[in-house]
Amino acid sequence: MLNDVKTEIVYREMLYRGIELKERRLTQRGLAKVCRVSPGLVNFAIKPLRRMGAIAIQSRSFVLIDPWKALMYWCSIRVLQREITYSTHVRARIEEIEAGLPRGCIPTAYTAYRERFDDVPSDYSEVYVYGDRDEFVKRFGEGGGDRPNLIVLKGDGHLLSLGQAPLAQIYADLWNIETWYARRFLTKLGEKIEALIGGE
């Protein structure tokens, strides 16, 4: 099987362009270049989306005709736990943890939602962020222990190039978190994504 992480990078870029940039007509070669993967991997990634009718293949491009269906597929195959490189319990308020994050890291889930929309649909008890494990070890110690409230996920060059987690990434990450308040965030974020998709 081809690299799952690289496949998810393709979904991230495709959905970022389709939802936030309103670019629905894409090319395999263009995606491959931006994502720094082979055109063959892009073709592999979009095959299931074609089968389910989320995209339509044309002569030299394809069209993302159902972003929601593509996003739901990504959510269903994503395994957030395998991306965790560091976790710890920090004895501080969530706001203090967020303020103390190392520079260059990229928040996702609850923190990303709050930063994007300056609002939260519920209180939350964990901070999820993409970043360099070593930077977090330097700042917060070796980690481990029960009830972690700071969870660090492995980032990649493509995500760093975007500078923030796209809405589709935030949604896919929230989808894979088990807390009851993750569902509240999902509902609200889903409404915002639907407004973007339907507002064309």
Q: pLDDT tens across 1-15, in order?
A: 345 889 999 999 999
CA distance 96 to 152: 16
- What is the four-CA torsion angle of 14, 171, 98, 89, rounded to 10 degrees? -120
| Domain boundaries of the chain, sorted by first residue | 4-77, 80-198
How far, CA to CA in Å, does 40 sit from each of 31, 44, 71, 141, 188?
11, 6, 21, 41, 36
CATH topology assigned to domain 4-77: Arc Repressor Mutant, subunit A (1.10.10)
CA distance 137 to 140: 5
Query: Up-side HSE of residue 22: CA atoms within 13 Å toward CB?
Result: 6
> Residue 103 is encoded by which pair of tokens?
């520079």
> Residue 177 is encoded by which pair of tokens?
């978190």
pLDDT-derived band at 144 (thresholds 50, 70, 90) equals confident
Q: pLDDT tens across 107-143, in order?
A: 999 999 999 999 999 999 999 999 999 999 999 998 8
